[in-house]
Structure 1
């Protein structure tokens, strides 16, 4: 049976109170949000692909290859394997608890409020920071495009963060603003626009792989792992943030048609597509260019095509495709961020402003504006390398919690309707947990320290505001008051 809120629970017990599963299906709760089910399997799969491909492959090679060398191919496989194991766990929970909120909502149902808040902090870090990182990468490709077509570049003062030698990354800020306007118009409109951009993206990457293979040089793989296993695993930590798009699928639970079957199907299709394209493009890139040349190479894939063909034509097409398609990454990750805050606000642990939905557009307009403003500041003033690693650790912790949540829900709710069940249970959830921990332990110490500092801020917020305003807390107080009144009347 589901855990219900106890009247006047003890302090420690109150930290681990769980939101009953039946509350996630509460019709009044759903109608109060105003979200509508308008997204089908194809559009949802495109959202997963759109949020993932582009975040990693278009520019993360310049960050990961110098760490691993040609073994970056193994790094992509390691990251994909861990993400794949976790995607199966997401698929089960998404089919059992088909609501907005992703792993935050799943943690609330399985591990309790305190863990849910910690995971919520991870998700805010994951989505907000990854979105900023993508916007910065988009700015680099825009400059490449301007340089090739119009023979001028945006001045560093307006194209780079202060730490990178500029004043503000203005193109990144503008991109976030454009996504904000589209998201405010509606979820269905955003999903359709994203699907078009994803098709363009896949076509451009297929073109890259075909052309790059004409410049194949097997000697580039001779010193396959110059930094050993540690380098390959360390690069997997950097790359891992590129799989953030997979759990965007689980943030759309209340805007998807037939979510118990649609969400697992979209997750698995997105995973297969993403991992396949990542590995093919990484192999083609290393085969066409020596790994030593990747470090500090802005818009590296476009440069590789230019070097292979001796002409800027294909590189220009790739840069144009990246400018168009990376837009979709920013769009979908911003979408995920707003829906997580929407879910937290509806539970009372985030301010009420984040759950207000416009009657005209049926979107959380104020929520979207606030999120986009914060992301625009990050994108405008923080360099990309630090943003990428900070996203990785938030993603890994959220993935780990989902894997634990599957095991707990199997125990506490064995008869709950599930549209998908993790195969080889409990082997896959256990392997997923181990894989997440393995990659976390290989991240840089400064990244982990920054993550811990962020979670301390999240906990301070929870004890100062979230705990007292949580719906379950108010219900417990109301239950205790009713019980006391009843005793006095006896």
Structure 2
């Protein structure tokens, strides 16, 4: 009840005083405002056209790619036949963060993924850092995967028509070439699909995902014919330490399951379907990984595995005595990697869309084409940048920047789910992390542990990238943030 004898005063909530510097860094965007603004961009809105199937395919498309086609050659020598156990351990490690993503994706169903979750729970500066990490993760990842696509394309051409592209056109300067044309081509192909809209991109991705799942199932069906139980006689020859070392290597083949969370504003029923898509994609990928690993080790003695991209194709050739099957697998690898480029590029554009709508990056990134419902200018800029990066710059160890950016974002999501439970316990949640805060704490701990295992060069690159991002935030983002102005809906409420 108001004090009748008190002097009249103005409602300061409608015209708030300017907060101090520290308060501006910590200002949070209310969940309700995040959801209310969902889908809205400059000049149009994103379209809700994706169901559970398409969302699951997006996550599988971003996850199931280069990893399974190259990772066995790296992991088997570390763990021996117990590499199957290493895949399970890596999958469980990813599961902790996946559970947190599932809860937040169902609670805050918006574009931006972990950037938006951090904005709602830990404030603008942490959200900016998280978003900047995602830009690094997705941008470098697209470029690195595109380079790998060019290598597989050369293998396919060599196996089918006996020709390969000259080094000058298939490698960047510094790696023996002049310009990596295949890497640029696959990025431009992905861009073409994305410009058509989310539904068209999802259809193309679904076809590619089905092809690569079928390829791995075919490998298992053929590889099991060469299965020798003797290859499993010494299951754990290098002990649990070897299993753990291989698990750390394999964890990065699970990165990508969070891709569905960037589609929060284009899902038909985001609160119901996003958590299901994240968990379902992780289960499907883990089962495929374990099956492929088990068949591969059963068909080939573990000591003969080498760090070769063609390990699966070689097994199929050895078992059948025909090169056709290896060539077929190379074709499927080309398709598989193309779908990773498509889905990761999609995620990059949606994160920048959310950051642009909040005013932290220029508004050109949130302009939506009225006909397709796609952020066309955003897609063009990001695609051309990533394409040139892949074609003209030797990435080398910089590709590890993908890992550190991903792990940092995963760690923040595990913190965000605990913070939101404490600050907004009554919010409707379509999925809840069991045993919280224990499982999120484990997810955070695993992410920090894996970040610590990365090289010094990777940390230096990460530090430079963060410094550039902070300069951009304080020069541009903080001044243009939409949270610097009151929520229009709140102002209208106070004016009534």
CA RMSD of aligned residues (A): 2.6
* 1-structure distance, mates of 2:368, 2:30: 24
Q: Equivalent residue for 1:470? A: 481
1:167 and 2:178 aligned: yes
- Counterpart in 2 of 1:339? 350
2:311 aligned residue: 300
Residue 383 of structure 1 deviates from its aligned partner by 5.3
Q: State the distance in 1 between where 2:33 and 2:463 align.
A: 31
User: Which residue pairs with 2:329 in the alignment?
Assistant: 318
CA contact (8 A) 2:76 2:83 kept: yes
Q: Is the 8 A contact 1:186 1:363 kept in 2?
A: yes
Contact 1:52 1:329 in 2 (8 A): yes
Residue 113 of structure 1: how far off its partner (Å): 0.7
Which residue of structure 2 aligns with residue 24 of structure 1? 34
Normalising by the residue count of structure 2, what TM-score does the alignment of the two structures yield? 0.89
User: How far apart, CA to CA, are the structure 1 residues paired with 2:413 and 2:402?
Assistant: 17
Corresponding residue number in structure 2 for 1:487: none
Structure 1 contact 63–385 (Cα < 8 Å) conserved: no
- Mapped to 1, the partners of 2:261 and 2:75 lie a distance apart of 27
Answer yes or no: is the 8 Å Cα contact 2:82–2:235 preserved in 1: yes
The corresponding residue for 1:364 is 375
Most deviating of 285-294 and 313-322: 285-294
User: Which structure 1 residue ranges, 5 or more long, are not aligned?
Assistant: 480-490
Instruction: Kindly provide the CA deviation profile for residues 401-440 of structure 1, in whole angstroms up to 9, marking residues without a partner as x.
Output: 1111000001111111111111122221111111112222
CA contact (8 A) 1:49 1:246 kept: yes
Distance 1:240 1:323 in 2: 22
Match of 1:13 among 17, 23, 34: 23
Where in structure 2 are the equivalents of 1:276-295 lying within 5 Å? 276-291=287-302, 294-295=305-306
Matched, 1:176 2:187: yes
> For the residues of structure 2 that align with 1:384 and 1:258, how far apart are their CA atoms?
39
- Give the CA deviation at 1:36: 0.9
Q: CA deviation at 1:5?
A: 11
Partners of 1:427 and 1:332 in 2: CA distance: 31
> Measured at CA, do residues 70 and 448 of structure 1 come closer, stay the same or move farther in structure 2, by a change above 3 Å?
farther
The verdict on how the C-alpha distance between 1:439 and 1:232 changes in structure 2, with shifts beyond 3 A counting, is farther
Contact 1:136 1:384 in 2 (8 A): no
Structure 2 counterpart SS, 1:25: helix
The answer for the alignment partner of 2:363 in structure 1 is 352
CA contact (8 A) 2:63 2:256 kept: yes
Q: Relative to structure 1, is the Cα distance of residues 377 and 73 closer, same or farther in structure 2, using a 3 angstrom cutoff? A: farther
Deviation, structure 1 residue 303? 2.5
Distance in 1 (alpha carbons) for counterparts of 2:229 and 2:331: 29
Q: Does the aligned pair in 2 maintain the 1:234–1:442 contact within 8 Å?
A: no
Larger Rg over CA atoms:
2
Task: Name the CA distance, whole Å, in 1 between partners of 2:237 and 2:397.
Answer: 23
Instruction: Give the Cα separation in 2 of the matches to 1:450 and 1:130.
Output: 15
Aligned length: 475
Segments of 5+ residues of structure 2 without an aligned counterpart are 1-12, 491-496
The structure-2 alpha-carbon separation of the partners of 1:122 and 1:61, relative to structure 1 and needing over 3 Å to count, comes to farther
Secondary structure of the corresponding residue to residue 39 of structure 1: coil
CA contact (8 A) 2:228 2:299 kept: yes
Q: Is the 8 A contact 2:39 2:265 kept in 1?
A: no
1:92 partnered with 2:100: no
Aligned to 2:3: none
Residues 219-239 of structure 1: per-residue CA shift (max 9 Å, x gap): 656776777766655554443
What is the rounded CA distance, in whole Å, between the counterparts of 1:213 and 1:351 in structure 2?
54
How far residue 331 of structure 1 moved from its aligned partner, in angstroms, is: 0.6
Aligned equivalents of 1:357 and 1:12: distance in 2? Answer: 34
Q: Give the aligned partner of residue 417 of structure 1.
A: 428
Counterpart residue number, 2:268: 257
Sort the Cα spacing of 1:406 and 1:377 in 2 relative to 1 into closer, same or farther, 3 A.
same
Moved more, 217-226 or 395-404: 217-226
Residues 133, 387 of structure 1: 8 Å contact kept = no
SS of residue paired to 1:251: helix
Matched with 1:486 is none
Aligned in 2, Cα 1:110/1:256: closer, same or farther, shift over 3 Å?
A: same
TM-score with structure 1 setting the length: 0.90
Give the whole-Å Cα distance in 2 for the aligned partners of 1:237 and 1:179: 30
Q: Which has the higher helix share?
A: 1
